[in-house]
């Protein structure tokens, strides 16, 4: 059964407030406080996974399964036939033994927006991660795909493609008055059976995309509820099952009857003031809306997917697009969200004034208008995500990396390289490279200033008097009212071509 569509967060506009909290709550905060988002990993002790095995991924990579210490997988390049210390055999990506590398959860999300500044908040967690089980690891060849394997191949697919299948589960975060099987969960039943569990099958595909890239994708579907109230072999009772009879307390019954009588008398006094009785207007009112049977039977969905894998304590992380506050991100939670950079970004009192007059316009260390879900490390490991889902890279724990994706699927690529240059070359080879800069841009200074055309000509004459080489002037005049969106009113590009001593002015 395909999974339901992921719900979009509820967004609230914050444009009209004249004064705002100058010290807004820091985001992103930890989403799941009821438990770790990396639950334990399990596999069949009597299956093929009880023994270590290597699986090919294309012709240049391999995945190794190690059942010791709870189970773990690692991805590396295939060494050359000459052997020795081939750098291609270095591990590119590996998981933590006994810890789930794929987990899922569900929570509500709200977003505040003001002039391009966002704040996403996770509300009450509906489902917290429970457990991941690995059922099977296999290599898919073209004949398997033609036979109906769950993989869409193309002419450029480099077989074999690795497939990992299993089940992820999550528990109800809060106790419910009735269970998913239709029984009312009393105190004794809750203590005996625990919380209802939502489980779903997952598929992890690893495919060789190039000589230096392995793509990965995680898909989740086929949701199913389970609980421990009854024998698993017996079918669950119908939703109309009568409740368990209970003893009647005479005192409580008298109090209930007295309360109902008092409320009915007060209603009659109010209706005597000229309002028609409820029975008279009930025929004129539309019937109350009730949820359809499909909506009531609709299963919960996973709208969070977590990828957890190993990292070394002394490993340093760089990248994540254009960042203005940090060069190295080990120990931080890095959100990847396009928004305004901010005015002050934590420096006081500038940030205080900006936040006071415009909601969150001050920004913080993580706000940027050009982020990227890409990193490379000091151990020459690199990974990036594909797609447009909001994601958070959690690097706060010294032994692991955890990526939280706001959706029910994940796509990305793992890169191989022996230097930052090789990793960036591999990355831009698939995402695209910017064009080569023109020669004139590096022949002198690019001067940024404000004041209009006459101010630019005056400064240009001063620079010429001091023999300062100038390539271009960039002039931006804009409205500085903090309560209005900053808008560009004039934009000038002045290109100075020394060969012809000409100026090109573009409005």
Domains of the chain: 10-229+299-431 (2.60.40.1760), 439-506 (no CATH)
- Residue 126 to residue 171: CA distance in whole angstroms: 8
Q: What is the pLDDT of residue 253?
A: 53
Q: In angstroms, rounded to a whole number, what is the distance separating the alpha carbons of residues 208 and 152? A: 14
Task: Name the residue among 465, 331, 326, 307 with its Cα closest to residue 389.
Answer: 307
Report the pLDDT value the prediction gives residue 259, as an integer from 0 to 100. Answer: 60
Q: Give me the pLDDT at residue 176, please.
A: 56
Regarding pTM above 0.85, the answer is no
What integer pLDDT is reported at residue 477 of this predicted model? Answer: 64
The pair phi, psi for residue 59, each rounded to 5°, is -105, -10
Residue 494 tokens read as: 């002045």
Q: What is the pLDDT of residue 492?
A: 41
Question: The tokens 């596999």 sit on which residue?
Answer: 43
Specify the DSSP element, H or E, that contains 400. Answer: strand 400-405
What is the C-alpha separation between 367 and 381, in angstroms, rounded?
A: 25
10-residue averages of pLDDT along the chain (507 residues): 55 76 70 69 92 96 95 92 67 97 91 86 84 95 81 89 95 65 53 72 96 96 74 43 47 57 53 44 43 47 93 97 94 94 88 86 91 97 96 95 94 97 96 89 88 86 94 72 42 41 41
How much is the CA Rg of the chain, to the nearest whole Å? 31
Q: For residues 438 and 434, what is the distance between their CA atoms, to the nearest angstrom?
A: 12
Cα dist from 390 to 100, 387, 485, whole Å: 22, 9, 24
Among 10, 115, 31, CA closest to 367? 115
Answer whether 64's CB lies under 8 Å from 73's CB. Answer: yes
DSSP annotation of 254: H
* Structure tokens belonging to residue 313: 């304590």
- CA-nearest of 295, 297, 307 to 407 is 307
Helix or strand holding residue 402 (H, E): strand 400-405
Instruction: Please report the pLDDT score of residue 424 as a whole number.
Output: 96
How does DSSP assign 12-72, residue by residue? Answer: EE--S-SS--SSPPPSSPPS--SS-SS-BEEE-TTSGGGS-EEEEETTTEEEEEE-GGG-E
Helix intervals (H) in 289-358: 293-297, 350-357
């Amino acid at each position: 059964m395909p999974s339901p569509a992921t719900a979009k967060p509820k967004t609230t506009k914050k444009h009209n407030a004249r004064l705002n909290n100058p010290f807004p709550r820091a985001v992103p905060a930890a989403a799941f406080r009821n438990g770790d988002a990396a639950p334990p990993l399990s596999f069949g002790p009597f299956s093929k996974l009880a023994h270590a095995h290597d699986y090919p991924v294309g012709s240049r990579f391999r995945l190794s399964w190690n059942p010791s210490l709870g189970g773990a997988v690692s991805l590396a390049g295939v060494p050359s036939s000459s052997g020795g210390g081939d750098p291609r055999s270095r591990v590119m990506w590996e998981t933590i033994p006994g810890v789930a590398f794929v987990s899922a959860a569900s929570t509500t999300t709200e977003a505040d927006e003001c002039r391009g500044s966002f704040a996403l908040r996770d509300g009450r967690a509906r489902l917290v991660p429970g457990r991941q089980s690995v059922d099977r690891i296999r290599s898919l060849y073209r004949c398997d795909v033609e036979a109906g394997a769950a993989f869409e191949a193309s002419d450029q697919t480099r077989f074999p493609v690795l497939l990992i299948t299993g089940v992820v589960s999550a528990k109800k975060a809060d106790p419910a008055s009735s269970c998913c099987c239709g029984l009312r969960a009393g105190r004794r039943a809750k203590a005996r059976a625990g919380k209802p569990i939502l489980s779903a099958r997952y598929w992890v595909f690893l495919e060789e995309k190039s000589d230096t890239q392995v793509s990965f994708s995680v898909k989740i579907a086929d949701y199913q509820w389970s609980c421990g109230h009854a024998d698993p072999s017996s079918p669950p009772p119908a939703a109309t099952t009568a409740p368990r009879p209970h003893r009647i307390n005479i005192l409580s019954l008298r109090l209930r009857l007295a309360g109902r009588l008092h409320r009915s008398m007060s209603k009659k006094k109010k209706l005597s003031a000229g309002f028609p009785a409820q029975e008279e207007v009930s025929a004129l009112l539309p019937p109350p809306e009730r949820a359809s049977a499909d909506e009531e039977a609709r299963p919960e969905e996973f709208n969070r997917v977590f990828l957890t894998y190993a990292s070394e304590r002394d490993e340093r992380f760089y990248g994540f697009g254009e960042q203005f506050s940090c060069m190295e991100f080990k120990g931080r939670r890095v959100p990847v969200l396009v928004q305004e950079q901010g005015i002050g970004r934590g420096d006081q009192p500038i940030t205080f004034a900006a936040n006071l007059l415009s909601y969150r316009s001050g920004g913080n260390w993580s706000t940027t208008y050009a982020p990227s879900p890409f990193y490379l490390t000091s151990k020459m490991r690199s990974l990036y995500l594909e797609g447009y889902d909001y994601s958070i890279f959690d690097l706060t724990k010294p032994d692991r990396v955890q990526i939280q994706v706001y959706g029910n699927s994940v796509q990305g690529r793992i890169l191989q390289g022996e230097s930052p240059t090789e990793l960036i070359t591999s990355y831009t080879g698939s995402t695209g490279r910017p064009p080569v800069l023109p020669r004139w841009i590096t022949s002198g200074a690019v001067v940024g200033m404000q004041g209009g055309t006459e101010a630019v000509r005056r400064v240009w004459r001063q620079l010429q008097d001091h023999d300062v080489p100038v390539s271009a002037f960039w002039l931006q005049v804009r409205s500085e009212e903090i309560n209005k969106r900053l808008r560009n009113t004039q934009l000038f590009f002045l290109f100075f071509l020394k060969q012809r001593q000409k100026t090109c002015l573009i409005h």
